[in-house]
Structure 1
Amino acid sequence: MAGVAAAALAAGMAQAEDGAEVAAKFGALESVRQISLSTDGTKIAFIAPQDDGGARLMVADLAGDGVPKAILAQRPGPETLRSCSWVLATRLVCRNSVVYDYGGLLLPISRLFVLDSDGNNVKRLSAGTGSDTVGAVSLTGGSVIDWSVPGKPGHVLLTRFFVPQQAAQVGIKRDVSGFGVEDVDVTSLQRFTLERPVAEADEYISDGQGTVRIMAVAPRDAGGESRGQISYSFRMPGSREWKSLSRVTMNAAGRFEGFRPAAIDPARNLAYGFQSVNGAKALYTMALDGTGKQDLVLAREGVDVDELITIGRNQRVVGASYATDRRLVEFFDPALKKLGAGLAKALPGQPSITFIDSSDDGKLLMLASSDVDPGMFYRYDPATHQLAPLLPMRAQLQGVAMGEMKSVTYPAADGTMIPAYLTLPPGSSGKNLPAIVMPHGGPSSRDEWGFDWLVQFFAVRGYAVLQPNFRGSSGYGSDWYQRNGFQSWRTAIGDVNDAGRWLQAQGIAAKGKLAIVGWSYGGYAALQSSVLDPDLFKAIVAVAPVTDLQRLRTESSRLGRTFIGEGSQVVTDGSPALNASRIKAPVLLFHGDRDINVDIGHSREMEDRLRAAGTAVTLVTFPGLDHQLVSSTARTRLLADSDAFLRKALGL
């Protein structure tokens, strides 16, 4: 027994000694934020985020030495380089975003720019809103809805929000406003209006061949807020006349009802879209010939088919996917189906295969990843059947042993079986461990099988981690979703607490060693869990949490307020800040002060109320960071501080 105790003590000391190193490895940002394959398949471009802000745009010539070279450097600051994609073999379109402080109101603003593959000839692509703008500012610089216009190499179709402008010569306001589409040459920057602006237009869908076929209009009330309805119109081939296609409405729970188009197949003259069948989202097609004929393409009982898979500059539809215990892909393209299955078997660890991009001649860019592997990018050449490794997703974690993520179920108090994922420390017996329940964000979301840097950090540090897909999660149909995780908070949080009780009953969680950790809605759930059962969890970590539903309603749009709900049973009883006196466990809060998803005021209010109630609480703020805390320094501190906090609170 003495030998066992000595070994356990030595292991504990080793964990304490390497905790900072492990936190630094898992807190480091991914090596690749976004990646794309050139139109001729000879180059890749990827965004490499830097540890303390900023990023570098890298290009590797795969036909040459293959060594990535920086062609653009973004200095640390408020701007974030989000994506870069090829429109020509030598030219890229990139998106940049910034959170702008407009007199205390934080606004997300994005703009597009173009540059050559050697970093030269950088120009703004988004239309300007200069000094002649009247009373409006466009927050978005538009989105590319078609990367290939037949007969016009280097042209794209770009959405644009037209704002009223003052005619410079005569000083008269031009009545030009709304959402439209432009045809833009990415080299000369010449542009002409393809779709005149429509006041309440919300979306356009092109056919991948330079023709806009679908328009969405979202009516607004007198205050300019959406009414929760979207009307879709379409055009017959060769026609400019809009005809009614479908209408969708957001219900009180926050789910859209009706056929919602997502992509077009021009060869078959139909639209792919989603709508519910037996309470679950399914994939349908609808003919674009005026008949309104619909055909069911893919449905799964009790599971939402929620992702359409497209590839290439023409955004060709090649499949759809849904998540059960793992995400499954149904390929409509026989060649990709065969290739994906073959690669998954051939590569080590039988990883999940994600096709990311393709060149005009059929070369494929893909990611192979799993629960214990953040992933490796590959290029596949179907002509030579050559699979070439390119880059790891997270270079810092190569060779680190991680915990396997297993699908489990556990009973809720009413007997309902709740799906979840259990990750144990590498090499663990799975018994008598410090344990963490980690509810997901959203609440209109769910956890899925795959690599998770937060989960794996705690597993490597010796914790068992259980991620419940509680009722209120998306992906399981409307019955499971109920009235979302806010309006149905008692059920959702009850399921979260039952996850902790299951860990104890199974002997996975050691007595008195149970904690809860969550981010965003997960942070809300972590705090509200102790409002329902103050004695269950012995420590609470909440990152960017919602804490006051009335505050959230005040900060939200009309649809947001409907989604959150109203009445004291939701707004008052469901707010952890308003019930702080019930929380006994020590609390550690993290929040960025430029968070536009959940204002930092939620954490500050929670801190004040917990302190007034005599509960131990610490709030760590990250200046200049948003909801995702995209900083290696911030994430490393989050991990290290959380680990130290939990070890102290749980007596480890």
Structure 2
Amino acid sequence: MNGAFRFLAGVALAGICVFGGSGVALAEDAAVLAAKFGALESVRQISISPDGQKVAYIATRNGGGAVLSVVDLGAAAANVGVPKPILAQRTEGQTLESCDWATDERLICVNSMVYDYSGYLMPIERLFALNADGSKVARLSADTGSDTLGFALYGGGVIDWDLPGKPNHVLMTRYYVPKVSVGSNVTHEQQGLGVEEVDVDSLQRHNVEHPFSEAYRYITDGHGTVRVMGVRPMRGDDEMGNEINYSYRAPNSREWKRLSKVTIDASGLASGFQPVAVDGAKNVVYGFDSLNGFDALYSIALDGTDTRQLVLAKDGIDVDELVRLGRDRRVVGASFATDIRRSEFFDPDLKKLAAGLTKALPGQPSITLFGASADESKILLLASSDVDPGTFYRFDKAARQLSPLLPVRAELAGMTLGAMKPITFPAADGTQIPGYLTLPPGSTGKGLPAIIMPHGGPASRDEWGFDWLVQFYVARGYAVLQPNYRGSTGFGAEWYRQNGWKSWHTAIGDVNDAGRWLAAQGIAAPGKLAIVGWSYGGYAALQSAVLDPDLFKAIVAVAPVTDLASYKLEKGTKMARDFVGTGPHVQEGSPAQNAAAIKAPVLLFHGDHDINVDIGESRMMNNRLKAAGKQVTFVEFPGLDHQLADSAARTRLLVESDAFLRKAMGLQP
């Protein structure tokens, strides 16, 4: 923890030792490997204090739950570099999501849980504050009280950490619920999203933006002033509409002026300028909008001229993320994913720093900025790659020191992982489909048991980097191909099509063509091709066998949607109904309604506290397959959500899925 690494001539680093090594994972027992890869991250979230002398991180707790620890990196600290646990959380359905520094001595944490109300699962989130030594724990989210005419599931969020002259204060959103005065007819009708200034020590609070029933979002300038508001008008049926109207304020003004309108169509695609961040010094707002069918980054002046400038665009790919740094979350760059996610920095010093770190660290890893001290003299960053889960570092600009802090996954230290290679393969209509192929280290790449692993979403995509699920199967000797089928995001509107539900035939066709390509290339051994997927990927795994029952020898589906009609009812909103759509594709694209067509054995996993995809989807699939006389195994995880964020559960998933695949393919255990 105390080792320091210095720049040589300002561009190179000497003596770096990151986690990784030459161990051969294939020699290990399946259960041992499953425990290593199934373990949750050693560091699930991390932040750096305003003075840059401390980091706080959330680690997985032995036996479940989480532990919040603080590491003092100051030279004068009695136990410099030694983690001090300050808060332990049991499981009990709760998740400690994040903890960030409000001051040098006080943290704000987010806690979430899924509440089962008579069989209806509700996500609840609350904020609390505590000192760096674990003392003075206090709830920060406003108490709705017993006199409210409802219950706020959302406990608010911090939208500004840097209020000039008020070091103990933050700006928080708050969802106001109407109140009634007991014993009278007096009603306080304030309702909707507003903004409060909160003292994290005294817990005193006062309103700075009155609640508005249709308010959707607030964006500050990073220095305590709300500059942009999004309003999403309700429909006549009391559901959110498909438009978001954004307004802005000029400096030193309280008057709202029109900024942009964003329209979300029935396929889920948004059009119009979507603001993300405000730079108060430049008096501009940054946001994304379409350019020739691809997302690009723009800025709009907030001085009344509405001057719009293109900041960054890339041919054939979406620019989809901002790179932000510091207490004020200033915009320092933007990123986009081609074969590998890349960042383009607007700040010249950060551009040089990132390039130098990438070249100097072994393996030339990807560099992700995770935060900085108030003066940005100390930067918290993550160095990771496809074969390295990553290590967190603190970089001291003045001393030009890079100090390793913590590995993301300590259990995988010393293991050789499979390289993730960007590839393309032809779909049936000749379209080249991008994807990632990962092979077992040291293998010939031919005649292997192989897995197609479609991603979730469907409005998502796979990217280059460490993946615990992929790497486990690779360590067990499988080749794994992750296709970015049509319906994925990041490749423009034309690639997204009508989304992966309405255009399921194209999306699933691409997934199946990935399997045919593996076989044609000789990568997949004859009769040894399977499909594994999570969420929409689980749906794709099941529906692939409806489209081509003879292609895969085994199907593993984790938390899958199985019936599009029931999925629409579960979501219960018109937007969800529009997203899935109506027509023949609802029945034809539902594996539960076509279970008789599936020939391969099926293994299902699902948590019964899943609020993304109700466990009823897997229960239905299990029953339909059994009724059709098919081979199916169903594993339910009590108390777990969509991510199955539990080391024991994930280990079981890996052990049992590996054994299932090997049996179906005729492989040795």
User: In which range does the TM-score fall when normalised by the shorter chain?
Assistant: over 0.9
Which residue number in structure 1 is paired with residue 304 of structure 2?
290
Which residue number in structure 2 is paired with residue 57 of structure 1?
68
CA contact (8 A) 1:53 1:77 kept: no
Task: Note if 1:331 corresponds to 2:339.
Answer: no
Q: Deviations over 1:184-234 (max 9, x none)?
A: 110011111000111100100000010000000001123321111100010
Q: Deviations over 1:614-635 (max 9, x none)?
A: 1100000000000000100000
Secondary structure at the counterpart of residue 245 of structure 2 = strand
- Map 1:103-502; keep pairs closer than 5 Å: 103-134=118-149, 136-168=150-182, 170=184, 172-362=186-376, 363-502=378-517
Q: Deviations over 1:315-365 (max 9, x none)?
A: 110000000000010001111110001000101111000010000132000
- Cα distance, 1:302 vs structure 2: 1.7
Which residue identity lines up with residue 565 of structure 1 in the other structure?
Answer: G
Secondary structure at the counterpart of residue 486 of structure 1 = coil
Secondary structure at the counterpart of residue 572 of structure 1 = helix
Mapped to 2, the partners of 1:445 and 1:637 lie a distance apart of: 26
Mapped to 1, the partners of 2:61 and 2:594 lie a distance apart of: 40
CA contact (8 A) 2:26 2:475 kept: no
Mapped to 2, the partners of 1:612 and 1:104 lie a distance apart of: 26
Seen in structure 2, the aligned counterparts of structure 1 residues 16 and 390 have a Cα distance that, compared at 3 Å, is closer
Which residue number in structure 1 is paired with residue 564 of structure 2?
549
Q: What is the CA RMSD across the aligned residues, in angstroms?
A: 1.0
Mapped to 1, the partners of 2:237 and 2:64 lie a distance apart of: 38
Structure 1 unaligned segments of length 5 or more: list them.
1-13
Which residue number in structure 2 is paired with residue 563 of structure 1?
579
Mapped to 2, the partners of 1:171 and 1:373 lie a distance apart of: 63
Mapped to 1, the partners of 2:472 and 2:160 lie a distance apart of: 40
Which residue number in structure 1 is paired with residue 39 of structure 2?
28
Which residue identity lines up with residue 196 of structure 1 in the other structure?
Answer: H
Which residue identity lines up with residue 627 of structure 1 in the other structure?
Answer: H
Mapped to 1, the partners of 2:645 and 2:512 lie a distance apart of: 30
- Cα distance, 1:15 vs structure 2: 5.7
Mapped to 1, the partners of 2:182 and 2:139 lie a distance apart of: 22
Normalised to the residue count of structure 2, the TM-score between the two structures is 0.94
Q: Deviations over 1:12-48 (max 9, x none)?
A: xx96970100000000010011000000000000001
CA contact (8 A) 1:271 1:288 kept: yes
Which shows bigger deviation, 417-426 or 551-560?
551-560
Which residue number in structure 2 is paired with residue 18 of structure 1?
29
Residue among 620, 623, 630 paired with 1:608: 623
Task: Note if 1:47 corresponds to 2:70.
Answer: no
Task: Note if 1:577 corresponds to 2:588.
Answer: no
Higher-RCO chain (CA-CA 8 Å, sequence separation at least 6): 2
Mapped to 1, the partners of 2:26 and 2:653 lie a distance apart of: 17
Which residue number in structure 1 is paired with residue 101 of structure 2?
86
Mapped to 2, the partners of 1:301 and 1:279 lie a distance apart of: 10
Which shows bigger deviation, 84-93 or 56-65?
56-65
Structure 2 unaligned segments of length 5 or more: list them.
1-24
CA contact (8 A) 1:215 1:234 kept: yes
Q: Deviations over 1:35-90 (max 9, x none)?
A: 00000000000001225421110000011321111100111211110000001000
Q: Percent identity at matched positions?
A: 65
Which residue identity lines up with residue 599 of structure 1 in the other structure?
Answer: D
Mapped to 2, the partners of 1:53 and 1:164 lie a distance apart of: 38
Mapped to 2, the partners of 1:38 and 1:527 lie a distance apart of: 47
Secondary structure at the counterpart of residue 484 of structure 1 = coil
Mapped to 1, the partners of 2:578 and 2:39 lie a distance apart of: 38
Mapped to 1, the partners of 2:574 and 2:266 lie a distance apart of: 12
How many pairs were matched up? 637
Mapped to 2, the partners of 1:523 and 1:396 lie a distance apart of: 27
Which residue number in structure 2 is paired with residue 532 of structure 1?
547
Mapped to 2, the partners of 1:181 and 1:29 lie a distance apart of: 35
Task: Note if 1:628 corresponds to 2:639.
Answer: no
Mapped to 1, the partners of 2:501 and 2:384 lie a distance apart of: 33
Mapped to 2, the partners of 1:239 and 1:463 lie a distance apart of: 61
CA contact (8 A) 1:29 1:49 kept: yes
Normalised to the residue count of structure 1, the TM-score between the two structures is 0.97
CA contact (8 A) 1:587 1:618 kept: yes
Q: Deviations over 1:404-445 (max 9, x none)?
A: 000000000000000010000011110000000000000000
Which residue number in structure 2 is paired with residue 4 of structure 1?
none
- Cα distance, 1:171 vs structure 2: 5.0
- Cα distance, 1:565 vs structure 2: 1.3
Mapped to 1, the partners of 2:26 and 2:133 lie a distance apart of: 46
